[in-house]
Amino acid sequence: KGFYALGLLHHWQTSGQEKHWLIPLKKDAQYKVVQKLGKGDELIELKVSPQARRKWDSVPEILTARLVSKEVNEKTVCILTSMSDPLRYPKADIVDLYSHRWEIEHGFREMKQHLLNNELTLRSRKPELVEQELWGVVLAYNLLRFMMTQMAYSLKGVEPYQIGFKQASLYLTAQLSILPAVAPGKIPKILTEIIHMAESFVLPGRRKRHYPRAVKKKPQRYALRLPSKA
């Protein structure tokens, strides 16, 4: 949220295929509408700052992006994205994807609390081994989440993040650890049985909660000065 660096985003997007970005529109962003794709759905042009063009040689002076707007709790939410094709990327799908953006924070928590057992430090003592250990954690997490994704998609209306990580990861680790001792011909059957257990790990629906932003009153070191009496 609040990450607005057009030069870096364009450089990252053009560094490979099928790379896209999705961010909230900056409050004071200046843009020009070039095409209306539908209600609350427009193609716009954004000027890239001279500083960004000096830093990123391949960045054009004008960047075309897609602006999607939607009313949420009587407030207009504006989303900027590089996914400009409305047929391939419908507006409803983009808005739905943006609403799930905070799920990545749960992923970080799952890696720290469950995969690393709340360990405050890594075991490795050398920089290259620390990097290797971190890649191992990320790889293990993604392999487990890949299996949970397959489990979720086997059920109607269930998103991958609705599969409880703690219990499902314990089950998957136990099941996958026995595969080396299983005859190759039986592995597909075991994987199918794992997928069929998906319903056992579906989390209950979350309550729709909304907490307006607020700050705590700052404590004062000194007594409050009262108006002097006449």
Q: Summarize pLDDT for 53-68 with one digit per residue, the tens.
A: 888 888 889 989 999 9
Provide the pLDDT confidence category of residue 196 given band limits of 50, 70 and 90.
Answer: very high
Where does the pLDDT of residue 230 fall: very low under 50, low under 70, confident under 90, or very high at 90 and above? Answer: low
Looking at per-residue pLDDT, the higher value among 127 and 216 belongs to 127
Whether 130 has a pLDDT exceeding 80, the answer reads yes
pLDDT (0 to 100) of residue 57 = 82
pLDDT attached to residue 3: 61
What is the value of pTM for the model shown?
Answer: 0.65
Residue 2 pLDDT > 60, yes or no? no
Query: CB-based contacts of 139: which residues, under 8 Å, 6+ apart?
Result: none
The neighbour count for residue 101, using CB atoms within 10 Å, is: 13
Q: How buried is 106 (Cβ within 10 angstroms: 0-12 exposed, 13-18 middle, 19+ buried)?
A: exposed
CB neighbour list of residue 117: distance below 8 Å, 6 or more residues apart: none
Q: Provide the mean pLDDT of the chain.
A: 86
